[in-house]
Amino acid sequence: MAHSTLKQLADLLATGKTSSVELSQDYLGRITRQNPGLNAFITVDAERTLAEARAADAVRAAGQAGPLTGVPIAHKDIFCAEGWLTTCGSKMLHNFVSPYDAHVISQFKAAGMPTLGKTNMDEFAMGSSNETSFYGPVKNPWDTARVPGGSSGGSAACVAAGLAPAATGTDTGGSIRQPAALCGITGLKPTYGVVSRYGMIAFASSLDQAGPMAQTAEDCGLLLNVMAGFDPRDSTSLEREKEDYARDLAEPHDLIKPLAGLRIGLPKEFFGAGLTGDTAKAVQDAIAQFKSSALPRSKSACPTPGLSVAAYYVIAPAEASSNLSRFDGVRYGYRTHDYADLTDMYEKTRAEGFGAEVKRRILIGTYVLSHGYYDAYYIQAQKLRRLIAQDFAEAYKHCDVILGPTAPTTAFKLGEKADDPVQMYLSDIYTIAVNLAGLPGMSLPCGFDALGLPIGLQLIGDYFSEARMLNVAHQYQLATDWHLQLSPIMRMETEYKALDALLSVPEAGKKGTMV
Ligand code: GLN
C-alpha cells in the first residue's frame, strides 16, 4: 500500500477493507524502516498516532466518518501541534512542545486524520535543499546522494518514499512546489489568505502560505478542502464562501470539466538561460500535450524572474528579522547556559540557537530596514512587488493559467550548493514571483532527466482559481503516468509488502499439501 493515494485509502476505509489503526501501523512500519536513511521526520510518536487512529475508527463505527476520516497524514514541523515537539528545524526550538494546535492541525484533527509525525525542514523554512535543518539534511528518495528540495523537503520525501500518503507544507518563495518537483510529487500553494497562518511559525508573514503535498492533484484537492477556510485568528485570512476544491475532478472521468477553451500563457521569461536541457524538454513536451487536447495560447509577458528573486531577498529577510526577534531565550525554546546579564543572555542565546542561514537573513533584514537603507532597498523592493503583481494581472487578461518549469534543475547533490547562497536562491527563480503576487501555484510531475530524476511542471493560476488549476492538473494526470512512477525507496517498500504477502502463502496452502 506504499503507493496508495488518499482517494484509494479513503475507499478502503469506507468499504471496511482496512481500519485507521491498520493503515497507520503500515505507515509507521515504513517510517521505522526508511526514516533512519532518509531523515524525513524529526518526530514520530507511534502511541499518539495510534490513539488518534483508534479515535478515527470509533468515529467511523459511529457512522460519523467524513471523506478522509482515518487516513493518516504527516505535518511539516513548522505547524504547532499540541503535545508534539515543534522545532521548525531549529536548535532554537529543540525543546519546544507546543501547548496548542495551529489552525491547519485542528482542521486535520477535525477531519479525523491521524498525525504520522512532524517532518524535517530547512531551519525556519529558509532554504531550498533542506540542508539548513538543525536535524541534518533529508535525502531524496529518488537518489539518496541528492537533496529533496526545500524547505518542505521532509514532507516531499516522505510522500515520495511512501512513508505518508500526504503531508502539509508551507511556501514562502517555493517551498511546496520546488521540493514537490525534485521529489516527483504534486504540491499546491494556495492563494495568499485561503489557508489560515494561525499557529504556523512565521518566516515572512506577507508571503507564507500553507498547502497540501500528495501524489496526485485529486488528493491535493481533497486536502485543500480540509485546510482552507476563514479563521478570525489570522488577520490576513480571507472571509469567503466555503468552496469545494475537488468539484471539477468528478467521476466518471468523461464528466470532468473539459479543457476546451482553456487559454494557456507561456511566458518566454520562464524558458531562458539557466533552464537545463532535460527540464526544458520535459516541460515543452507537457505543454505540447496540452495543446493537443486544449489550448494553444498567448505568449504572456511575465515578471522577469531575476527581478523577483532580488525583491524577495529584500522583503522576506526584512519580515523574518522582525518575526524572529521573538526568539530571545526568555519565553520558550533554547536559552544559553552561561551568561553574565540579560544582554549577554540574548546575544549568546541567538548566537548559539540560530544556524548560519537564519543569521544571514536576520542581518540582511535588519540592514534593509535600517534608517539609511530603507528607501534604497526595502521601498524599492515593495515597488517591484507591486509591478510584479500588475504584470500577472495583465497576463491573466489573456490567459487562464500559466505553464512553465517549477525549478531550473532537477535534484542536485547534497553539499553541491551549500556554500553558495546565491546559487541556492536561484532554485526558486520560477516560483518566487507567485508568492510576491499572492497567487496560487502548483507543481506536478512531467518527466525525468537522463539520470532518472523527476521534473516538475508549474501551473500558476489567477487569484482563487485553485479548483480550475486542480482540474487542469488532474486531466494531465489522467493522460500521463509521470505521477505514478515509484521512487526506488517506494518500490522497495512495495516489494517488501509483496514479499510479506508471499511469505504468508504457505500458511494458507499448508493444510492440503503437507504430508
Ligand atoms: N527557498 C526560499 C527561501 O529560502 C523559499 C523558502 C520557502 O518558501 N519557505 O527563502
Mean pLDDT value of segment 230-237: 97
Whether the predicted pLDDT of 273 surpasses 80: no
Condensed to tens digits (0 to 9), the pLDDT of residues 327-380 reads 999 999 999 999 999 999 999 999 999 999 999 999 999 999 999 999 999 999
DSSP letters of 112-134?
T--EEEEE--SGGG--SSSTT-T
Distance from the CA of 255 to the center of ligand 1, in angstroms?
38
Grade residue 506 by pLDDT with cuts at 50, 70 and 90.
Answer: very low
Pairing of strands 166-171, 441-448: unpaired
Mean pLDDT value of segment 457-479: 95
Quick check: pTM over 0.75?
A: yes
Position 509 scores a pLDDT of 37
Higher pLDDT, 196 or 271: 196
Determine the Cα–Cα distance for residues 398 and 111; give it in Å rounded to an integer.
Answer: 39
Whether the predicted pLDDT of 385 surpasses 60: yes
Q: Which residues approach ligand 1 with their CB closer than 6 A?
A: 125-128, 151, 171-175, 203, 316, 428
Hey, how many other C-beta atoms are within 10 angstroms of the C-beta on 450? 8
Which residues are within 8 A (CB) of 272 and not within 5 positions of it... i.e. 6 or more apart? 305
Hey, how many other C-beta atoms are within 10 angstroms of the C-beta on 376? 11
DSSP 3-state of 75:
strand
Indicate the residue type of 58.
Answer: A
Position 258 scores a pLDDT of 74
Determine the Cα–Cα distance for residues 47 and 69; give it in Å rounded to an integer.
Answer: 18
Which of 90, 126, 192, 429 has most ligand 1 atoms within 8 Å of CB, for mutation?
Answer: 126
Q: Give the phi and the psi of residue 512 in degrees, each rounded to 5.
A: -80, -30
- In the block, cell 475507499 appears at 11
Closest atom of ligand 1 to 435 CA is 8
Condensed to tens digits (0 to 9), the pLDDT of residues 50-68 reads 999 999 999 999 999 999 9
Pairing of strands 115-119, 73-76: parallel
Whether the predicted pLDDT of 513 surpasses 60: no
* Domains (range + CATH), the chain: 6-231+249-308+383-506 (3.90.1300.10)
Which residues are within 8 A (CB) of 328 and not within 5 positions of it... i.e. 6 or more apart? 346, 349, 350
Mean pLDDT value of segment 491-506: 73
For the chain, what percent of residues have pLDDT higher than 70?
A: 93
Distance from the CA of 463 to the center of ligand 1, in angstroms?
21
Position 262 scores a pLDDT of 87
Which residues are within 8 A (CB) of 246 and not within 5 positions of it... i.e. 6 or more apart? 218, 221, 222, 224, 225, 467, 470
Determine the Cα–Cα distance for residues 18 and 338; give it in Å rounded to an integer.
Answer: 54
Smallest CA separation from ligand 1 atom 5, residue = 173
Position 289 scores a pLDDT of 87
Closest atom of ligand 1 to 207 CA is 8
Position 514 scores a pLDDT of 33
Q: What's the burial of 67, exposed, middle or buried (CB within 10 Å: 0-12/13-18/19+)? A: middle
Distance from the CA of 235 to the center of ligand 1, in angstroms?
22
Q: Give the phi and the psi of residue 447 in degrees, each rounded to 5.
A: 155, -175
